[in-house]
Amino acid sequence: MTMRPFNILNLILISSAFSLLEAKSSNLGTSSDKAHAPQLAQGGRLFKIHCATCHGSEGKGVVGIAPSILNKDFLALASDEFIYKTISKGRPGTAMVARPDLSADDIEAIITYLRNSTSLPPDRIRVDNTLVFSGDKENGKPLFSKFCSACHGPHGEGYMLGLPGTGIGLPGFLEIASDDYIFQTLKQGRLGTPMQPFLGSTGLANLGKQEVYDLIAYMRHLGETYEERMVNTPVGPGNSKAGEIHYNINCAACHQSSGRGLVGLAPAIRNPDFLAIASDDFIRQTIDQGRAGTGMMARPDLAPQVVNDIIAYLRKDTDKNQIVHVDPTKQLFGDAIAGGDKFTRYCASCHGAKGEGYSANMPGPGIGLASFLDAASDDYIYQTLKRGRNGTPMRSFLGASGLANLSDTDAADIITHLRELGEITEAPANTGASDFE
């Protein structure tokens, strides 16, 4: 038997397995304000559902995937507003996507949870967000190359390049991080992570104050020139090696390593039966627009090259001869009422009574949701029913070799019923408001 290397993917698997499968009692403080108890419990629940897949069930983070957020040094520096904005606006270009689907109350509950973990002392370091340091970006540039780029990337791209540090040159971070927040991070470091203190004689590099101001000026410059660099980067064909890195950072938390999916969480997207019928444009559209009402967030922030690379990785092992022509213009009309009965009989046990899917704790995806039905043509659904998805609970249902020996008429009836469902179901709207917006 050969041992598999213990790599980052295993860590993700373990952390997601912990967060999803193990209903661990939450790590809440006993000293916390009783009045906050329901909010605290709610925050813990939301953290496990929405955050633990990447940040780990203990919030310790995974180097190269997501930073530690139940971290004493981070929480000492980060204001509630900083955390609030990070969650609501996200960090474009990284897996930390904006979460407009979480209400202000939800986000505040998560912050309460983060602030009340027993292992953390209550002391906060005063960060003066009004301070603006005056530094010289030209002096900062060589310092950045020497001390920071090995972990954070030459332009502060961070995880994007498969590196251990976060995207400190990206606008999403720089817009909410004040000069003093960055200064204090360099002074403190982040206990338990590769981020060491750099300032002063006890720091890693004995940097002086002015040197840190210069570094900050250079980081601000990186943020301001980010768009320009992106626009000027030519888009080429996908590279599957780069795609694997982007996949592991952005997609594996849900679709799992090697894209094999997890029943009840996310479909298998490196599955040959899926790749045979999904065109590159279908995949591109799914990434760009997401599937409203599901865990599949829209990622318009991913650069076109990154998307090409991910698609190349997904298709790396597929045989071109297996690709099936799906006609997106073909329409199948059937009897919606008969289709409803057949759906209830053959599909609802996995996809939910109204095709709500995972959101209703079902093993299959939300095929009754408008967001899926907008992306999927009739022929795409028909071909799925015909072929099934080998290796997943989704079997072939059509014809003599299918699970239920359904006819083409049955398929048309079911598809017509699904189209009706798509018109009724709507993604939940976020109506919350907050002080920080």
Residues 110-169 interacting with ligand HEC (rule: CB under 6 A): 110, 147-148, 150-152, 158-159, 164-168
Structure tokens at 99: 């979460």
DSSP one-letter string for 339-384: HHHHHHHHTHHHH-TTS-GGGGT-SS--TTSHHHHHH--HHHHHHH
Structure tokens at 124: 């906060």
Which strand (E) or helix (H) includes residue 431? none
Q: Tell me whether residue 86 or residue 103 sits nearer to ligand HEC (CB atom).
A: 86
- 188, 274, 422, 425: residue in contact with ligand HEC (rule CB under 6 A): 274
Using CB under 6 A as the binding rule, the residues of this chain from 345 to 364 that contact ligand HEC are 346-347, 349-351, 357-358, 363-364
Using CB under 6 A as the binding rule, the residues of this chain from 296 to 315 that contact ligand HEC are 296, 299, 310
Find the shortest distance in angstroms from Cβ 1 to ligand HEC: 28
Per-residue burial over 165-193, b if 16 or more Cβ lie within 10 Å, else e, is bbbbbbbbbbebbbbbbbbbbbbbbbeeb
Q: Tell me whether residue 3 or residue 294 sits nearer to ligand HEC (CB atom).
A: 294
Q: How far apart are CA 145 and CA 147, in angstroms?
A: 6
Residue with tokens 């203990």: 58
Q: Is 436 in the site for ligand HEC (CB under 6 A)?
A: no
Using CB under 6 A as the binding rule, the residues of this chain from 241 to 270 that contact ligand HEC are 250-251, 253-255, 261, 263, 266-269
Q: Is 183 in the site for ligand HEC (CB under 6 A)?
A: no
Q: Is 109 in the site for ligand HEC (CB under 6 A)?
A: no
Instruction: Name which of 264, 244, 272 is nearest 393 in CA terms.
Output: 264
Q: Tell me whether residue 87 or residue 332 sits nearer to ligand HEC (CB atom).
A: 87
Find the shortest distance in angstroms from Cβ 3 to ligand HEC: 27
- CA dihedral of 45, 47, 50, 56, whole degrees rounded to 10: -120
Instruction: Report yes or no: 98 and 90 within 8 Å, Cβ to Cβ.
Output: yes
Q: Tell me whether residue 2 or residue 431 sits nearer to ligand HEC (CB atom).
A: 431
> Helix (H, G, I), strand (E, B), or coil: what is residue 175?
coil
Helices (H), 79-148: 80-89, 104-115, 137-147
Q: Is 48 in the site for ligand HEC (CB under 6 A)?
A: no
Q: Is 98 in the site for ligand HEC (CB under 6 A)?
A: no
Find the shortest distance in angstroms from Cβ 267 to ligand HEC: 3
Find the shortest distance in angstroms from Cβ 166 to ligand HEC: 4
Q: Is 417 in the site for ligand HEC (CB under 6 A)?
A: no
Q: Is 427 in the site for ligand HEC (CB under 6 A)?
A: no
Q: Is 339 in the site for ligand HEC (CB under 6 A)?
A: no
- 295, 334, 339, 422: residue in contact with ligand HEC (rule CB under 6 A): 295
Instruction: Name which of 83, 84, 51 is nearest 432 in CA terms.
Output: 84
Q: Tell me whether residue 34 or residue 48 sits nearer to ligand HEC (CB atom).
A: 48
- Distance from the first to the final alpha carbon of the chain: 55
Using CB under 6 A as the binding rule, the residues of this chain from 68 to 87 that contact ligand HEC are 68-69, 71, 74, 83, 86-87
Instruction: Name which of 150, 13, 92 is nearest 306 in CA terms.
Output: 92
Using CB under 6 A as the binding rule, the residues of this chain from 208 to 227 that contact ligand HEC are 215
